[in-house]
Chain A
């Protein structure tokens, strides 16, 4: 028995690998980890490209070139990034409050519907600046109200907002299909298509891209200030951290939840307006095209910081733009964009773990 006791003492007593929270990771180290993560993701993607029989470096370079190599390419990249950034801003507001809103896709559609109403039926009754303003406001208002619905139920009965907002996306989607097929269908066609907007209802251009980029950039600054400097931004952050504390501090939690979702929905609805009026000149079932979902990942990867969202949105836009190019140059199906985005995002998510935690390997020599 005594022999066993002796061996017991020498036996390792701490698990071989354990996870410890880091208190503060220096910024440089955090960026280093992210860079390594990105490289690992690109490497994984390159295995896929290799398997297809192409040179990964050539493919990657071609993607970058298509996105930033020419004026046209750059403009196209920005056009893709605008709605992504917009929905990331909308998502960011809600997520900061730990309100897991995945209904941005639907808010964009509803905003687009409201804006389209004025574009189709009031384009000749209002002066252009007024028309565009009304369209923008209508989009924001409709998106905001749509966002208010799940917020109301969450505030009142704590109804699960993730699934609620998700379901509302499909209701919005069905509504667009209905408008396309019926009331708003273009005259003289059997196809479910809504007419193209008249010139008056289209957003003007600035530096070759529709002015939506400027609107969204201004919104980015506004949201940044709102979140980090304003009283309301402070309130929603406290609510997100601890509803109990918010109540203790005299905040009306229900009202803050509803107000924040009103704004989140409004931003997304405004994006819907930009899409129909600036990018597509019409409304259809691809008006949102998944940016509401991709926007969530943009917001999350940017740590809900609006200024970083600009960079992340441009990066994702570059991948999508690049995928279109390699479809023609390398004959690689453009669905590879989602695949690559998925891989990169998986890796970037995993990076955050290594920024916040460190793996402690047991010191073999140390004993105790």
Chain B
């Protein structure tokens, strides 16, 4: 039982940054924008969330309380991710550039952004690395929720994670309700499925695309911050995102564009990425690590063969909309 709890915990912790990335990209894709810059936006969020806490602590010479550090990190990570997405939106929505290419450039830019500032700001740190204080770090450690955390088995299984895990799950639930139950969610889905229809129904296509893409980018940014604050323990590590953004893009497909299935998908991918420690199977670990990608490919193939209308990408994903050319 303990092994299972450990395994489950590790899977959740490994899956959470993926969940952020997936949810952010999912929201973006619902508007019809295929932003391949998730990796870049995660880098931007990772350094910005970390650097904000680091610079405030350095500038004012104090140790920030955990709660404040979490709020500041979330805010700046979100803003940085949204900034990346804003650049993408300006180019794609207003300047009509090719989406794949623009997303790739955002990735190049974002990786440069993260690594450059990570290295540059490190020069001002006592230990030559951007780090946050122990006090601030406590805000990112596992929670102890009265009563719930103490339930045997269920407590350690579900109620002892860090706050960002619950934030990610909360975003997933809110997003599911938003997309399926609200007026704006319906409008957003229409924008991604058929912008001309949405336009004719007097929905402001441009505004929806900008907002969904930027908020989505912000959520991706928080996913990056998760890595710099939790995975690498509040210190900047060069190239720390390591392809998580790309897996997130894959996970959106795996989840067939549904936030609730994204929860499951992130858990599965999180589990796959740590499974080799728990379930050796005798396969080399490097091969093991490719399983999430192979699983995604299989999902892609199966959905395309089944041609299911319900589980398909938004109708005009990746295609720019120009009103006067309809």
Contacts and interface: CB of A to CB of B under 8 A. Distances in A.
Please tell me whether chains A and B touch each other in their complex, using a CB distance cut-off of 8 A.
yes
Interface of A: 19, 21, 52, 100, 102, 153, 157-160, 162-164, 166-168, 170-171, 173-175, 177-178, 181-182, 290, 293-294, 296-297, 300, 332-333, 335-343, 345-346, 349-350, 352-353, 357
Q: What DSSP secondary structure best describes chain B's contact surface?
A: helix
B305 A163 contact: no
Given A171-B294, A293-B107, A339-B113, A346 B34 contact: no
Contacts of A346: 87, 91, 105, 109
A178 to B, nearest CB: 4
Contact of A342 (B105, B250, B325): B105
Interface string B95-118: 111101110111111111111101
Contacts of A167: 250, 293-294, 296-297, 300
Given A171-B293, A174-B287, A345-B108, 18 more contacts: A52-B120, A153-B304, A162-B318, A164-B300, A170-B243, A174-B293, A175-B286, A177-B286, A181-B284, A182-B284, A296-B101, A297-B104, A297-B105, A335-B114, A342-B106, A343-B109, A352-B95, A353-B97
B294 A341 contact: no
Contacts of A162: 34, 36, 100, 318
Contacts of A21: 324-325
Interface residues of B, number: 52
A42 to B, nearest CB: 15
B290 A157 contact: no
Nearest to A301: B101
B95 A157 contact: no
Given A177-B286, A333-B116, A342-B108, A353 B301 contact: no
B112 A297 contact: no
B246 interface: yes
A162 B318 CA distance: 10
Contacts of B120: 52, 332-333
Nearest to A299: B101
A164 B120 CA distance: 36
A164 B254 CA distance: 12
B91 A174 contact: no
B104 A296 contact: yes
A338 B112 contact: yes
Contacts of A337: 112
Interface centre among A153, A335, A337, A349 (most CB of B within 10 A): A335
5 contacts: A153-B304, A162-B34, A163-B249, A167-B294, A296-B104
B228 to A, nearest CB: 15
A257 to B, nearest CB: 14
B98 to A, nearest CB: 7
Contact of B108 (A168, A294, A333, A352): A294
A309 to B, nearest CB: 14
A339 B117 CA distance: 10
Contacts of B318: 100, 162
Given A181-B286, A335-B116, A349-B91, A163 B250 contact: yes
Nearest to B325: A21
B95 A350 contact: yes
B289 interface: yes
Contacts of B87: 346
Contacts of A357: 96
Interface in B17-55: 34, 36
A50 B116 CA distance: 15
B3 to A, nearest CB: 26
A291 to B, nearest CB: 11
Contact of B95 (A168, A300, A332, A349): A349
B119 interface: yes
B287 A102 contact: no
B253 interface: yes
B101 to A, nearest CB: 5
Nearest to A154: B304
Nearest to B34: A162
B113 to A, nearest CB: 6
Contacts of B293: 167-168, 170-171, 174
B95 A335 contact: no
A153 B301 CA distance: 7
Contact of B101 (A158, A160, A177, A297): A297
Interface in B105-161: 105-116, 118-120
A103 to B, nearest CB: 11
Interface string B224-249: 00000000000000000001001001
B15 interface: no
